[in-house]
Structure 1
């Protein structure tokens, strides 16, 4: 499938132009170009616009997954000296991992593009409107991320000089700008594209980001009824447009994380894989040390992300019950008869994986250091491997010759999220009947019993006080685990931090009951101190980096930092 052309700019100067398809890449010396020579016609503007697609979250740990390690579901051990990405909660205003959402270099590129757009000559004026809408989408998306992460931020809609020192604008003003922008551009974009423009921003993507923006503001906005109503309206329009549907069954769910699931009916927004240009490193960064990662991959000093026991032990059985509440749960064989998404999401003790050095051979993943044979497989919890013993599985394709560059498109918004946002919007307005319909659609897709038949679960750890919303947040945990930032958003917006953040545990110590729910567990990293996390309410806003404060005297730090 042909994928649209990409160009990479620097601020106010396009240094390199890339023109690519799946089988061709041409690099042109960027020294020949200046801003005055470019941005002249439709082709120039399309090339510049394509570069703005790098504003999308990237298919790497640092591009998309870091905030997931700030939740109760996962942690990361040190990898290549990069640290634990904040999953130990030893945070300061100088930590680089907290800076991923302060994106003013991207904002500057977008504002510059929009200022050049009116003066460029176009053969097709409808394309000018489309290009404007795509650029404004990226700007609104970035501001929505910053509003959630930082609160008040400078709202810049035009280019400024390097000597300008803008102050922070009120959070609600920036939020209102985001909603206004997304509303105005909704009908400027098509519902779908031809194959040559696969991956471009659609009307559905705009509406989905809009629904996200409304719901992510629940934790701080003064009028939550407006937020729930706005999310309901945006989701309803996506559903009514009829462009999307859930991939069928657990096999369809699994395919979403492999290249066979690209261009499926469930994906609304994606970061596309383009050979030699936009590659995805999640597979290499997440694959277990003892498993196949390619002939060039070493095993030394490679920490790995891991799910917490809090997540694994709260994934329901096939009967729709928490394991602790299901008499049929067998701690000696704990991973059978569970929600089928668990096996798609996590690498579990006893799983067979392609072996490092020989992907046609298999070895048994065994992180418990007290089980015979585990010490030699590079994966036991006492070594520099997975800190909890429960590994990540999504987006890892062992059929590749090497995992340096995964070939799958990163799915950023899926239709299942729209259905769950729709359910949440109904629940927030007291309409549990409609909420249940859309919540159960997501469960039924993977063969889980509908709550309409078995009743809502009783969530006791991390409760909002609303049983329907609790059930929806629980479903979001199962559906999006190890995939994106959704759990971070849910904890922060419903102020669940003090209920769910604490010491991180991994696999049980027992060698006979790998699913022991009540006995001793290994602490993450097999350490009493490294992941003994303590929650502070000021974490609900990230710190502005000290380097930004030093550069701009008009910026004020968030409270507590």
Structure 2
């Protein structure tokens, strides 16, 4: 798929050059693909479906965890900060952009599906059908996001005129999930198990099943979620990557755990994740979203015990020692080696560029997200080619376990799924969860495992919403690192913010006011 981005750009240029050679009195726009020369051959279908992948989520996923207990929006004047604080409303540009971007992807997929049937020169019918399935998946992906963020939303399955768009009404969220289920179930057998060569990164059968399992879990359709997650497991295509510490590196791209990612390529179709997340000392990177103490405290000790347990062996004076290894693989901690080879020292009295309070850009919690921050990108922090993972096998295993627990069909396979995530990798070997847990204890265990394993990957916002725990874990002060001041006293950094969460309305985002101004048929979510 990385090479296919190049192919798309070359074809776009070719069409532009072709159009310039025509009679000037019968011109074709040279800044876009024209219907006068398009929708003729199967290669047109390929370039069109390739373009739909651009609408997948990318680095925007990191903001979502900053609206939870796991992370913090580092700059208080950023638009995202108002969502974190709970002081936003329907005019928020972030609320609008997520809605708009999703419907842009849906409109592009609808346009493809409305027009691909015009192609009469089909050289490979199997591949041609697959292109349609890919487009339907990418449309369903956007609806999963919309349903989880906004609840009831318009269901659009074909291209609309402006007048038609202004007549749309919101459909019940259950109807949206019905549509997602039907779409993904219908296309699953059209998609291959895997790809090779330039096609690696396309939508697979496993991706369709994994997205359906996620949607069913979000919808509270637990038996369906467990069944579909088990179907992914039974494909025998995916397995956990052997080292968690390398999972988000260039060396691990397209590995056996990745079910779906957004593919990037340096200087051609790049992202700026290094600049977005890395500590300030790393080429003045932005520390845009930073971990919280609440996130760090969720990681157990190496003995598999919560740090609040008196028997855990947790040492408050050495808080990051003897912990679940995923903590050090996910978060930059004091003493870590940074991409430029220097040592990370974020304590306010450290005198380093990363010291809390040194600049408004340095992390205000003293933690930085480590996932996706690779030394290969240090030279050009805003031109990165690292792929952003959107679905991976560990999520499927935990979806299976959680769904079985909620459906009250607990058996050994539930423990096996959780324990696979805890102790299959060579660099993460935690004790297995006890087989003697009650259902409530097992529910708490899988939620904690999901929170830790998938931290800073954009899934926790949807999780605390559907668990109805956001009203408990979000409100209040934000805390950061524990350090010793110049007198030797132990201190905890406290960020100068106080989060609010109104359970009467904040479990869903509002329908953007801009959309309602243009379409009076769009109702608003409760409380907004």
Distance change in 2, residues 1:347/1:168 (3 Å): same
Using the TM superposition, give the Cα deviation of residue 408 of structure 1 relative to its aligned residue in structure 2, in angstroms: 1.8
Q: Classify the secondary structure of the residue corresponding to 1:394.
A: coil
Residue of structure 2 equivalent to 1:47:
47
2:404 is matched with which residue: 426, 432, 436?
426
Query: For 1:399, what is the secondary structure of its paired residue?
Result: helix
1:353 to 1:184, Cα distance in 2 relative to 1, 3 A: same
Report the Cα offset of residue 6 of structure 1: 5.8
Per-residue deviation at 1:314?
2.1
Match of 1:476 among 444, 450, 461: 450
Whole-Å Cα distance in 2 between the matches of residues 308 and 269 of structure 1? Answer: 28
Note if 1:323 corresponds to 2:307: yes
| 1:412-451 matched pairs, under 5 angstroms | 412-433=390-411, 434-445=413-424, 446-451=428-433
CA distance change for structure 1 residues 405 and 468 in 2, over 3 Å: closer, same or farther?
A: same
Partner secondary structure for residue 506 of structure 2: helix
Task: Give the distance between the partners of 2:75 and 2:297, measured in 1 at CA.
Answer: 25
Contact map agreement 1:101 1:145 (CA 8 A) in 2: no
Q: Return the match for 1:230 from 200, 224, 249.
A: 224
Q: SS at 1:4's partner residue?
A: helix
Does 1:545 find its partner at 2:512?
yes
User: Aligned match of 1:505 in 469, 479, 491?
Assistant: 479
- Are positions 1:491 and 2:464 aligned together? yes
Structure 1 residue 378: Cα displacement: 4.0
SS in 2 for 1:268: strand
| Runs of 4+ residues over 4 Å off in structure 1 | 25-29, 79-83
Worse overlay, 127-136 or 76-85: 76-85
TM-score (norm 1): 0.84
CA–CA distance in structure 1, aligned partners of residues 82 and 265 of structure 2: 27
Query: 1:270 is paired with a residue of what secondary structure?
Result: strand
Partner of 1:223: none
Query: What does 1:8-87 correspond to in 2, within 5 Å?
Result: 18-19=9-10, 28=16, 30-31=30-31, 33-58=33-58, 60=59, 63-78=60-75, 84=81, 86-87=83-84
Please list the CA deviations of residues 499-557 of structure 1 after superposition, one character each: whole Å capped at 9, or x if unmatched.
Answer: 1111211123643899x9xx763222xx1xx3333443311111111111111111111
Q: What's the counterpart of residue 434 of structure 2?
A: 452
- In 2, are the aligned partners of 1:318 and 1:337 still within 8 Å (CA)? yes
Q: Which residue of 1 aligns with 2:27?
A: none
- TM superposition shift of 1:85: 6.4
| DSSP-derived class of the 1:375 partner | coil
CA drift at 1:478? 1.2
Q: Say which SS state the counterpart of residue 70 (structure 1) adopts.
A: coil
Partners of 1:27 and 1:290 lie apart in 2 by 45
Q: Quickly say closer, same or farther: Cα 1:304–1:110, change in 2 above 3 A.
A: closer
Q: Distance in 2 between matches of 1:263 and 1:125?
A: 27
CA distance in 1, matches of 2:150, 2:79: 23
| Correspondence for 1:462 | none
Contact kept? 2:82, 2:88, Cα under 8 Å: no
2:292 corresponds to? 308
Contact 1:18 1:28 in 2 (8 A): no
Aligned residue runs from structure 1 range 44-443, under 5 A: 44-58=44-58, 60=59, 63-78=60-75, 84=81, 86-99=83-96, 100-102=98-100, 103-121=102-120, 122-164=122-164, 165-218=167-220, 227-248=221-242, 252-291=243-282, 293=283, 298=284, 302=286, 304-325=288-309, 326-354=311-339, 359=340, 361-362=341-342, 364-369=343-348, 371=349, 374-381=350-357, 383-384=359-360, 385-400=362-377, 401-433=379-411, 434-443=413-422
Given the superposition, is the C-alpha separation of residues 513 and 328 from structure 1 closer, same or farther in structure 2, using an over 3 Å criterion? farther
Contact 2:61 2:458 in 1 (8 A): yes
**CA gap 1:316/1:27 in 2 versus in 1, 3 angstroms:** farther
CA offset digits 1:354-378 (Å, max 9, x no partner): 4xxxx3x52x322222x3xx23424
Counterpart Cα distance in 2 of 1:350 and 1:264: 30
**RMSD of equivalent CA atoms:** 2.5
Partners of 2:347 and 2:33 in 1: CA distance? 58
Aligned partners of 1:432 and 1:468 also within 8 Å? no
Stretch deviating more after TM superposition (203-212 or 332-341): 332-341
Task: State the shift of 1:279 in Å.
Answer: 0.9
Are the counterparts in 1 of residues 259 and 391 from structure 2 also a CA contact under 8 Å?
Answer: yes
* Alpha-carbon distance between aligned partners in 1 of 2:278 and 2:67, rounded to the nearest angstrom: 20
Name the structure where helix makes up a greater proportion of residues. Answer: 2
- Asked if the contact 2:277–2:287 (Cα under 8 Å) also holds between the matched residues in 1, the reply is no
Q: Distance in 1 between matches of 2:503 and 2:292?
A: 20
Give the conservation status (yes or no) of the 8 Å contact 2:2–2:264: no
1:429 Cα deviation from its structure 2 partner: 1.9
